[in-house]
Structure formats: structure tokens, C-alpha cells
Amino acid sequence: MSQKSVAVVGAGIAGLASAIRLANQGLDVHLFERNSYTGGKMTVYEQDGFRFDAGPSLFTLPELVDELFKLSGKNPRDYFNYTKHHTACRYYWSNGKSISLTVDQSENLHNIERVFGSKQARSAKEYFNHSKEKYELTAPYFLEKSLHRKSTFSNREVLKVIRKIPSLGIFRSLNALNGRYFESPELVQLFNRYATYNGSNPYRTPGIMQMINHLEHGIGTYLPIGGMHEIAKSLTKLAKEVGVNIHLNTPVNKVCVRDRRFHSLLINEEYIEFDSVLLNSDVHHTYAHLMEDKVPRPKRTLAQKPSTSALIFYWGIQQTFEQLDLHNIFFSKDYKQEFDSIESNDGFWLDPTIYVNISSKLEKNDAPEGCENWFVMVNVPPNTGQDWTVIREKTKASIIERLSHELKVNLEELIVTERVLDPVLIEKYTSSAGGALYGTSSDNQLSAFLRHPNKKLGQFSGLYFCGGSAHPGGGIPLCLHSAKLAADWCIEDLLKETKPRDVFESLKSV
Ligand SMILES: Cc1cc2nc3c(=O)[nH]c(=O)nc-3n(C[C@H](O)[C@H](O)[C@H](O)COP(=O)(O)OP(=O)(O)OC[C@H]3O[C@@H](n4cnc5c(N)ncnc54)[C@H](O)[C@@H]3O)c2cc1C
């Protein structure tokens, strides 16, 4: 068989992962990236002796990254390593309460009992057990498989899961569900925060999101040695080694279709033909700017609410803080109002919940001696034309006031270097609609089914989708699942289109 060729548009984590999977099948893979670097949202800033991971900071399920090295016949540890971090997060409230939750659920129960009493600890035990049950029941089907293929539903096990849907908390919000377990408003707020792990609103997102508790505290959180960007860096190295042709500074301008089949990409005014294409670019961007008009738009998918975006301040701080850990949350006084404000697209809330990530707690080279690298993030709505210059300044003032008070310092005086990312810049650097961090939100019960399938359905062939805006959604682990689903579907279709003798030849070449 003449070697089949596949194009991948976008070198985000899912684009890299799918390109590696395709190249491992002996395909001629070309990965086109608009930027001068790979990784998309998972990039890095270096400034005045500080190193900042620009995007993701919380890393779960590292085995999904390892899997890519293993299937390429490599030892992951020769490329990429990570440590499990015991303290998953430290939480602070303005009433003076604080608690650390770790990756040891019995220690968490002990901490909850100490701060909130034994009744709340008993409820937490039940919560953790239910979270584990929900995760184990649903993840293998709703996250690791396509929801758009008959084969997923022809399995007896999945039918059992479907029968259990009413008990999974899908028909009540995460906030309502958490309120049934906990009397303490602080604990309700703490567990409501799981909604933000994919940019959703706890007062709307279904209670099934409770399962994130098991992912974070039951399975655990990790930090790659060298920082989050090592994931993108090591996958880029692997992609090159398995034969992926990476074309940086190469925006794709059009995805062209002929006779209901993907035909070519328009790049630098030239049409280049491939057998198939995997689109890692944001689905909104793809349909608005890349896809030819003759390809029907998935109206319901495109009408889904985008996930939240963020304002991020990268601060070099000339002091170290014993009381802070790798991940720290300073909760707002009124979470409901904070989310109402995000929902109304205001962009500014006087008392936002503040996330402070300090990788130099573990990675000493990330900040000069006696300093720390702070990644300070608040949730904001995606860009719809708000005045981000004003919002940035007002939000910065609120954050400085709150953290100065909590940490008993004049924080402003300690900032020696600064960089800021807002929704407009996130969209500019990654093409994500409105700067949404996670594609679409999970703010309704059908969200999981309304994300873009990993293949363009409806009698079109050769068009596949991966990344945060495709099934199963945003965040590193889900993007890696999407890469597997899209790449496997593409490979399966290419093999079906190949004559039996050619299949044999192509398998021999793997
Ligand atoms: C500030 C921030 C914090 C986050 N925190 C976490 C976290 O703690 N944990 C977690 O798991 N997730 C987190 N996320 C989400 C996570 O980063 C994303 O879900 C994931 O990285 C998205 O990967 P992706 O494969 O969808 O591609 P993206 O990273 O969105 O990259 C898409 C790529 O496609 C390229 N592209 C687009 N259009 C074209 C074109 N026409 N031609 C060529 N190239 C094109 C873009 O330039 C970009 O490089 C965070 C995100 C941000 C921004």
C-alpha cells in the first residue's frame, strides 16, 4: 500500500498525542502548528530568573502520558518523570478557617474532623466512597469511550451504568448534591469547586462531578519533574522520534472537502492533500474559520455554553511563605454571587476565589534563592468584549488586598516581576473561542453528549476531532482520551478503506 498520510492541525497536548499514535501505526503524519512552539495552552514563561508554567498546573493520571511512550517502545522514565505530591491543596476562608486535603483519604477525614467536627467527617467518608463508586462506574464508558459509536452502547456493562444514571447525581446540581452531605458551608464550597476543574458552574453542573474528588484525592495529584511544560516538551521529542513531521509557524487556513470526503488543507496558499485530518484546533475556531462552508455546522454543539476563562497573574515574589503549599485556594465569601457574576459576563467580582500555585515549592530552580514563582488565577467569563484592561487592574487590586491581609504582608511590595494572561490573550495564543480554558462547560445534564464527536458524522469521511472542545472535554487527562479516541477511529477507517492485501502490508510495516 502506498503509505497513507494524515494531517494533524494544532500541537496542543491532544494534537501531539494523536500524532504519536498515528505515527506508531506507520502512517505519514504531518503536524501543523500556528505558533512557534508546541504544547498550546501548556506552555511556559521565563522572566527575570523565574519560570512559570503558563497553563495547567494540576496533573492527574500521569499513566496516560506514560502510555504514549510505552506504545512507542520507549521507557517513559528516559523522557519524563513525576512525583506524587502528598498535599493536594490547602484551602483558606476569610473567617480564619483553613484545611489541607491530601492524597490520603483517611488523613483527609482526620483533618475534616479536626476543623469541622466528627459529624462532617462521617459525611465526608460517605462522600469519598460515593465519589469513588461514581468514578469507577462511569469513567471507563463516558470518558474513555466515544459516546457517538454504537459499539460503546452494545456492551452489557454500559447498559448497567445507564440503568444507574438516576443515582449518579445527574439530575441535581453539584451544589445541591454537596448540600445533602454537608452542613458546613465551607465544605459545600470546597467540594463545589470541582465544577471549576472543567470550567463549569457548581450551581448548574450535575452532581456527577463529585467523582473528581476521587480523581484528585483518591488517585492523586502529581507534578512532572521540571514542571508541567515537561509533558509537552517530552511528547514533542517523542513525536519527532516516531517520525511525526512537525511544522511550526504554519497556520492552516482551510480544511477542504470533496465529494463528502476530506481532501486537502490550504496552507501558505497551497493545497496539500492528505488521506485524513485530525483537528486539535478549537471546534468553534475550526467551523468559523477553517472548515469549508459545504460542511454542515453542528448547531447544537456550537450553541453549548463555553467553559469559564481566567485571569492569571504570574508574579515573581521576593519572599517565601511557609504556610503555602504547591496548590492553595483562598475562597470568596459568597461563591453563589461569584458564579452569578461570571454567568452575567461581568468579568469583575470584588471578592474572587483565588488560586495560588507555587511550583518553586518543589522545583527549586523555578525561582531565585529566597523567592517564589506565583501563578495566581481567578475564574472569569470568556471574552465577549468586556474591558479587560480595567478588569485586570481591579482584580489585581482585590487579590493583593485579600492576600496581603491573609499573609500579613504588603504583597504589592514583594512582586518583583509580573506577566498577565487574560481571555483575549488566551484566545490569541491558542484560538480557543473567547479564551475558554476547557472548551465547553458541563453546565447541563446533556453536556457530555453534546460535545463534538471525535469524528465528523453524517456521511462525511476523513475528518476527526480531538482536544478540549471535543469529546470527552478539557483538561489534560480528557484531552489525552480524546486523542486516543480520534486517532483510533481514524486508523480503523483507514484500514477499512484499504484492500485486504494492503492491510497486511501496512500492519507488517508497524
Ligand atoms: C490558565 C490555564 C490553566 C489550566 N489549568 C489546568 C489544570 O490545572 N489541569 C488540567 O488538566 N488542565 C488545565 N487547563 C486546561 C488544559 O490546559 C487544556 O484543556 C489542554 O491543554 C488543551 O489541550 P488541547 O489539546 O485541546 O489544545 P490547546 O492547548 O488548546 O492547543 C491547540 C493548538 O492548536 C493550534 N491551532 C489552532 N488553530 C490552528 C490553525 N488554524 N493552524 C495551526 N494550528 C492551530 C493552537 O495554536 C494551539 O497550539 C488549563 C488551561 C489554562 C489556559
Mean pLDDT of 411-436: 98
Q: Is 43 in the pocket of ligand 1 (CB under 6 A)?
A: no
Mean pLDDT along residues 154-161: 80
The whole-number pLDDT of residue 501 equals 53
Which amino acid is present at 392?
R
- The pLDDT of residue 153 is 81
Output the CA angle 6-73-16, nearest 5 degrees: 35
> Probe ligand 1: pick from 20, 35, 41, 374, max atoms within 8 Å of CB?
41
388 in Cβ contact with 423 (< 8 Å): yes
Cα–Cα distance measured from residue 34 to residue 282, given in angstroms and rounded to the nearest whole number? 13
Q: pLDDT > 90: what percent of the chain?
A: 86
Round to whole Å and give the CA distance between 227 and 231: 8
Complex ipTM tops 0.95: yes
Asked if residue 437 has its Cβ within 6 Å of ligand 1, the reply is yes
pLDDT score recorded for residue 505 = 53
Q: Is 209 in the pocket of ligand 1 (CB under 6 A)?
A: no
Mean pLDDT score of the chain: 94
**What confidence tens digit (pLDDT) does each residue in 314-355 have?**
999 999 999 999 999 999 999 999 999 999 988 788 899 999
Q: What is the pLDDT of residues 14-69, one digit of tens each?
A: 999 999 999 999 999 999 999 999 999 999 999 999 999 999 999 999 999 999 99
Section 63-80 average pLDDT: 97
In whole angstroms, give the CA distance from residue 172 to residue 267. 47
CA angle 210, 215, 218 (to 5 degrees): 100
**What local confidence, expressed as pLDDT, does residue 500 receive?**
56
Domains along the chain? 5-40+64-74+226-304+445-508 (3.50.50.60), 109-219 (no CATH), 308-433 (3.30.519)
224 lines ligand 1 (CB under 6 A): no
> Does the pLDDT of residue 163 top 50, yes or no?
yes
Rounded to whole angstroms, the Cα distance separating 360 from 226 reads: 10
* Ligand 1 geometric centre to CA of 29 (Å): 20
Are 209 and 195 contacting, i.e. CB atoms less than 8 angstroms apart? Answer: yes
Cα angle 381, 387, 388 (rounded to 5 degrees) comes to 65
pLDDT at 510: 38
Bridge partners (DSSP) of residue 310 are 379
Which ligand 1 atom is nearest residue 435's CA? 53
